[in-house]
Amino acid sequence: MAKKIIIGNWKMNPVDVKEAEVIAGKIVAGSDSLKKISIVVCPPFQYLERVGPIAKKKVVLGAQDCFFGGKGPYTGEVSPEMIKSMGVKYVIIGHSERRALGESDELINKKVGGALSVGLKVILCVGERSRDDSGEFLNFIKSQISQGLDKIKKSRLKNLLVAYEPIWAIGKDALHPATVQDVLEISIFIKKVLVDLFGREEGLKVPIVYGGSVDVNNCREFLTDGQADGLLVGRESLNPENFIKILKTANEL
Ligand code: PEP
């Protein structure tokens, strides 16, 4: 069985690099003996250089976004090559908070292609804003996946993860976390979409992780009954004590 992967998304936190180092140090110290899981921490770009050496081997560095191009006149952007050169192995692309700032599926698709082409592992985030009885939200998720992965070669899929992050379950204003049943159903649905796009063999290999108000109390059931291949953790990844409890729970399974 593949290792479960637990990804911490720090978003635009903490406010200074010293605190980032403290949080990273605590996470690394608390996770040293956890051999059965993969751990990724995604600090803001500005902290990568300082968090990288603390993360060492057990905790792998991720970024929260990247641009698609190599270099050039793109003020303020950060390329896949740049983050790779800082030791980043994973990159979150298409997070709902970036989509809310105007990122289109077309742009996300370019970013996915750019990141995969330099060998980064891509965590493609998808998820509906709200649900409807007629199941229209499923078409929305399907379209995010098919557009986000348009023209991506099958051979690149080994470096892809899909994160199911329903917007209504994310952040401090969340209605509530998804249920285990939601996570299981949508994981199966996403697998079916991937199989239709890329074939059974490749499609079924893509890990599907869940994100949205994951905490110490609910993390186990998403990974067991929900059959998630991993978790994308926002707020609780900034609280080292709680994040370590989540990591330990995943490691025990
Ligand atoms: C996220 O935004 O990726 C997320 C999962 O946030 P939270 O865990 O805080 O809901």
- Which amino acid is it at 128? E
Ligand 1: atom nearest CA of 235 is 9
- The count of residues in the chain is 253
Describe the crossing of helices 105-117 and 136-148 by its angle, rounded to 10 degrees. Answer: 40
Check pLDDT > 80 for residue 79. Answer: yes
Q: What is the mean pLDDT of the chain?
A: 96
Cα–Cα distance for residue pair 242/75, rounded to 1 Å:
37
Share of the chain above pLDDT 90, in %: 92
Share of the chain above pLDDT 70, in %: 100
Q: How far apart are the CA of 232 and the centre of ligand 1, in A?
A: 7
What confidence category does residue 69 fall into, taking pLDDT thresholds of 50, 70 and 90?
confident
b/e map 48-62, b = 16+ CB within 10 Å: beebbebbeeebbbb
Q: For residue range 180-225, what is the model confidence (pLDDT) as tens digits?
A: 999 999 999 999 999 999 999 999 999 999 999 999 999 999 999 9
What confidence category does residue 57 fall into, taking pLDDT thresholds of 50, 70 and 90?
confident
Six token digits for residue 127? 């998820």
What local confidence, expressed as pLDDT, does residue 116 receive? 98
What confidence category does residue 1 fall into, taking pLDDT thresholds of 50, 70 and 90?
low
Give the chain's radius of gyration (CA, Å): 17
Please give the backbone phi and psi of residue 208, each rounded to the nearest 5 degrees, phi first: -115, 120
Mean pLDDT, range 1-22, rounded to an integer: 95
Q: How far apart are the CA of 73 and the centre of ligand 1, in A?
A: 32
What local confidence, expressed as pLDDT, does residue 21 receive? 97
Which residue matches tokens 């990591």? 247
What local confidence, expressed as pLDDT, does residue 70 receive? 84
The one catalytic residue among 81, 97, 165, 236: 165
The residue contributing the CA closest to ligand 1 atom 7 is 234
The residue contributing the CA closest to ligand 1 atom 8 is 234
95 noted as active-site residue: yes
- Domain 4-14+21-252 part of CATH 1.10.3210.10: no
What local confidence, expressed as pLDDT, does residue 202 receive? 94
For the chain, the maximum distance between any two Cα atoms, rounded to a whole number of angstroms, is 49
Pocket test for ligand 1, best of 90, 176, 214 (most atoms within 8 A of CB): 214
Q: For residue range 97-143, what is the model confidence (pLDDT) as tens digits?
A: 999 999 999 999 999 999 999 999 999 999 999 999 898 999 999 99
What local confidence, expressed as pLDDT, does residue 175 receive? 83
Q: Which burial class, exposed, middle or buried, applies to 63 when counting CB atoms under 10 A from its CB (0-12, 13-18, 19+)?
A: buried
